[in-house]
Amino acid sequence: MAGIYVYSDQSRITAELISFARQTGAAAFALCFSIEQAKAIKDFGADKVYVLQGGSPLVENYGRAVADFLKSQGADLFLVGATARGRDIASRVAGHSDCGMVSDVSSVSWTEGRVSCERLMYGGAVIQEELLSGFCVVSIPAGKFEAETGESSEIVVVEVEADNRVILVDTAPIVREGADLSAADKVICVGLGIEKEEDLQLAKDLADVLGAEIGCTRGISEERHWLPVEKYIGISGAAIKPQLYISMGVSGQVQHVVGIRESKIIVAVDTNEKAPIFRAADYGIVGDLYEIIPLLTRALKKDL
Ligand SMILES: Cc1cc2nc3c(=O)[nH]c(=O)nc-3n(C[C@H](O)[C@H](O)[C@H](O)COP(=O)(O)OP(=O)(O)OC[C@H]3O[C@@H](n4cnc5c(N)ncnc54)[C@H](O)[C@@H]3O)c2cc1C
């Protein structure tokens, strides 16, 4: 059946993609690869949830099966959550479908067979608009649309043939610290302005008072290795949209700022009054973080 088909290995992103598809007025269908996944996403308002069963536990083995299924359905568009697994299946489906694909878009709109996407180029310095017509594949990072619940969907199981050339040998859990930043309500972001690893405690104290998560710039995790990589925010890290974002010692280069643009309130503390972060900030404090952050923590402790 014609319409917009969506897939993500994360239920929350599936909900966001279904909600976007519904807003376009098109029929919205969700794909998944197990009954468990289908049950987890059946209340997000899709017209149907299709479970593609081919006997493989690896989503990447379903590239051709998904492409063939979407073709047989006459799908208009395939939206995929831009997670590691989503990006993999998205490119395979586009390849097997011999169609256009746009990756990691910052915005997308669809009207009757025409897709318009925006994506950041050159480290976020340029926004490129891409227009596609006919069936195509678009991958979308988490947090671009509001997730909604809806009517419970019919679950339809479809037997397909998976490509079993890749087999699963073993699995091991990824150990993550703290909550998912993209879903955090408040974020304290640490930049290279902090001098020593133990000074992270300043951010932790403030985060404790506010009930916030800690994030950072890329250098803090990738150069200094003081926080795990899933904690850095920006074009190549997490995109966040908290109610409150407070930075300390973050200069605000464009590659970082694209990841915080959708924050409701941005507060920046930096010694350099010309730091670009102040152009993105709603409230700016020009000052030494070693002086300001403890003051802020103490004041909030008194008031909260
Ligand atoms: C392709 C590409 C992708 C990238 N992707 C990302 C990304 O996803 N995320 C990301 O964060 N970066 C990314 N970067 C790196 C980015 O360009 C910046 O280099 C980085 O964001 C800067 O981090 P920073 O603000 O912590 O450090 P700096 O730019 O060094 O800024 C440190 C700030 O601390 C201030 N400061 C110093 N001492 C104090 C003090 N005592 N009190 C208060 N303020 C103080 C300084 O005035 C300065 O403004 C990317 C770069 C490239 C090329």
Residue 270's domain is classified under what CATH number?
Answer: 3.40.50.1220
How far is it, in rounded angstroms, from Cα 220 to Cα 298?
Answer: 25
- Shared-domain flag, residues 198 and 99: no
Q: Is residue 166 part of a domain?
A: no
How far is it, in rounded angstroms, from Cα 72 to Cα 32?
Answer: 17
Residue 38: strand, helix, or coil: helix
Position 178 scores a pLDDT of 66
Q: Ligand 1: which residue has its CA nearest to atom 31?
A: 251
- Shared-domain flag, residues 146 and 22: yes
- Shared-domain flag, residues 99 and 149: yes
Position 177 scores a pLDDT of 67
- Shared-domain flag, residues 149 and 192: no
**CA 9 to ligand 1 centroid distance, Å:** 32
Q: What's the sign of the alpha-carbon dihedral 15, 17, 20, 22?
A: negative
Q: What's the sign of the alpha-carbon dihedral 55, 61, 63, 64?
A: negative
CATH of the domain at 35: 3.40.50.620
CA angle 104, 108, 114 (to 5 degrees): 120
pLDDT tens, position by position, 121-162: 876 778 999 999 999 999 999 888 988 888 899 999 999 999
- Shared-domain flag, residues 154 and 214: no
User: Looking at ligand 1, which atom is closest to the CA of residue 277?
Assistant: 49
User: Could you tell me which residues come within 8 angstroms of residue 112 by beta carbon, excluding any fewer than 6 positions away?
Assistant: none
Q: Ligand 1: which residue has its CA nearest to atom 36?
A: 193
Position 111 scores a pLDDT of 84
How far is it, in rounded angstroms, from Cα 36 to Cα 47?
Answer: 18
Q: Ligand 1: which residue has its CA nearest to atom 26?
A: 191
Closest of 255, 248, 184, 249 to residue 218, by C-alpha: 255
Closest of 46, 52, 55 to residue 33, by C-alpha: 52
Position 44 scores a pLDDT of 96
Q: Is residue 206 part of a domain?
A: yes
Give the residues of the chain that fall short of pLDDT 70.
123, 176-178, 304
User: Looking at ligand 1, which atom is closest to the CA of residue 233?
Assistant: 9
Q: Which domain holds residue 240?
A: 181-303
Q: Which runs of consecutive H residues, i.e. helices, occur in 27-77?
A: 35-41, 63-73
Q: What's the sign of the alpha-carbon dihedral 132, 138, 144, 148?
A: positive
CA of 140: how far to CAs of 9, 80, 84, 108, in Å? 13, 6, 12, 9
Query: Could you tell me how many residues make up the chain?
Result: 304
Q: Is residue 170 part of a domain?
A: no
Best of 121, 216, 240, 256 for a ligand 1 pocket test (most atoms within 8 Å of beta carbon): 256
Position 278 scores a pLDDT of 97
Query: Hey, how many other C-beta atoms are within 10 angstroms of the C-beta on 161?
Result: 14
**CA 197 to ligand 1 centroid distance, Å:** 16
CA of 258: how far to CAs of 121, 217, 233, 234, 294, in Å? 11, 12, 9, 6, 28
Residue written as tokens 């979407």?
70
Position 41 scores a pLDDT of 96
Q: Ligand 1: which residue has its CA nearest to atom 1?
A: 123
Position 143 scores a pLDDT of 84
Confirm whether pTM is higher than 0.75.
no
Q: Ligand 1: which residue has its CA nearest to atom 18?
A: 253
Pocket of ligand 1 (CB under 6 A): 123, 191-193, 217-219, 232-237, 249-251, 253, 255-256, 259, 269-272, 275, 288-290
Q: Is residue 123 part of a domain?
A: yes
- Shared-domain flag, residues 263 and 295: yes
Q: Ligand 1: which residue has its CA nearest to atom 37?
A: 193
Residue written as tokens 């250098």?
219
User: Of 124, 159, 194, which residue constitutes the final position of a domain?
Assistant: 159
**CA 290 to ligand 1 centroid distance, Å:** 17
How far is it, in rounded angstroms, from Cα 69 to Cα 124?
Answer: 35
**CA 195 to ligand 1 centroid distance, Å:** 13
Query: Hey, how many other C-beta atoms are within 10 angstroms of the C-beta on 192?
Result: 15
Best of 270, 290, 293 for a ligand 1 pocket test (most atoms within 8 Å of beta carbon): 270
How far is it, in rounded angstroms, from Cα 149 to Cα 22?
Answer: 11
Report the number of distinct structural domains present in the chain: 2
Q: Ligand 1: which residue has its CA nearest to atom 4?
A: 255
With b for 16 or more beta-carbon neighbours within 10 A and e for fewer, the 92-116 pattern comes to bbbebbebbbbbbbbebebeeeebe
Position 192 scores a pLDDT of 98
Q: Ligand 1: which residue has its CA nearest to atom 19?
A: 253
